[in-house]
């Protein structure tokens, strides 16, 4: 079994459609929408091809009309693109986002996976950096799992805790690794591989610049995509 794990797609169809194939199942750790220009097309892709999809904070925000819980530097970007996303999604798309689970457990070939968007103790919102000592301790929600899959921070990492391996595949649609490449992870026969690939960033940026969004929002979104960094 070869599983491709992606997270934080953020309506980036170019990154998603360029994702290398050859996997048996596609698992998605949330944030299909916001920040990017193609939320409906990304939802269609995921809905038709993914075996398992988790709800992220941006999916929750659009689906339920809730606050995104974003960091201050990304709040204007999130709110402006949420308004755009809400305007272009169908009622069925929004219902799909509302219906996504906030966590899941799966067993594959003796390994037990716990999947969520942020952390086992705060499924949607907690920003926990890769080196946080909190990862060393098994949390109640993920007890019984030996593999924990998370996203949300857009930072790709793998680390071993006392009883679990924690893996964040990074962001497919909006990397913050100081590199514009799209990130993902592969699991096969008990082993993880952290991967990245180039995609046509220019195409995504041109779409963003054509949207009816505030100039400063479009500028910041383009900066993140081109640099893989948080704007100053």
Return all residues near 165 (Cβ < 8 A) that are at least 6 apart.
Answer: 146, 147, 148, 158, 159, 192
**CA separation for the pair 209, 214 (Å, rounded):** 10
Are 152 and 30 in contact, with CB atoms under 8 Å apart?
yes
Alpha-carbon torsion (8, 13, 18, 24), positive or negative: positive
Domain layout of the chain by residue ranges: 2-227
Are 10 and 171 in contact, with CB atoms under 8 Å apart?
yes
The pLDDT value recorded for residue 161 is 83
CB-based burial label for 186 (10 Å; 0-12, 13-18, 19+): middle
Residue 168 neighbours by CB distance under 10 Å:
27
Task: Say which CATH topology domain 2-227 has.
Answer: Purple Acid Phosphatase; chain A, domain 2 (3.60.21)
**CA separation for the pair 44, 39 (Å, rounded):** 9
Return all residues near 116 (Cβ < 8 A) that are at least 6 apart.
Answer: 29, 54, 102, 103, 104, 123, 141, 142, 148, 149, 150
Report the helix count and the strand count for the chain, using DSSP H and E.
7, 10
Residues in the chain: 232
Give pLDDT tens digits along the chain (232 positions): 999 999 999 999 999 999 999 999 999 999 999 999 999 999 999 999 999 999 999 999 999 999 999 999 999 999 999 999 999 999 999 999 999 999 999 999 999 999 999 999 999 999 999 999 999 999 999 999 999 999 999 999 999 988 999 999 999 999 999 999 999 999 999 999 999 999 999 999 999 999 999 999 999 999 999 999 999 8
């Amino acid at each position: 079994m070869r599983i491709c794990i992606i997270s934080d797609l953020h309506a980036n169809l170019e990154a998603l459609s360029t994702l290398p194939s050859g996997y048996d199942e596609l698992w998605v750790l949330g944030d299909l929408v916001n920040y990017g220009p193609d939320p409906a097309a990304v939802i269609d892709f995921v809905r038709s091809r993914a075996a398992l999809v988790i709800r992220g904070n941006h999916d929750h925000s659009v689906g339920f009309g809730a606050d995104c819980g974003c960091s201050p530097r990304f709040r204007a970007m999130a709110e402006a693109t949420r308004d755009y996303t809400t305007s272009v999604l169908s009622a069925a798309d929004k219902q799909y986002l509302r219906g996504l689970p906030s966590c899941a457990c799966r067993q594959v070939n003796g390994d037990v996976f716990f999947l969520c968007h942020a952390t086992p103790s705060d499924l949607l919102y907690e920003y926990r950096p890769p080196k946080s000592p909190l990862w060393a301790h098994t949390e109640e929600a993920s007890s019984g799992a030996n593999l924990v899959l998370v996203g949300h921070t857009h930072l790709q990492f793998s680390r071993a805790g006392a009883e679990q391996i924690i893996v964040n595949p990074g962001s497919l649609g909006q990397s913050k690794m100081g590199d514009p490449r799209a990130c993902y992870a592969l699991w096969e026969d008990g082993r993880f591989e952290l991967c990245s690939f180039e995609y046509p960033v220019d195409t995504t940026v041109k779409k963003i610049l054509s949207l009816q969004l505030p100039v400063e929002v479009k500028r910041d979104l383009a900066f993140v995509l081109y640099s893989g960094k948080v704007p100053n």
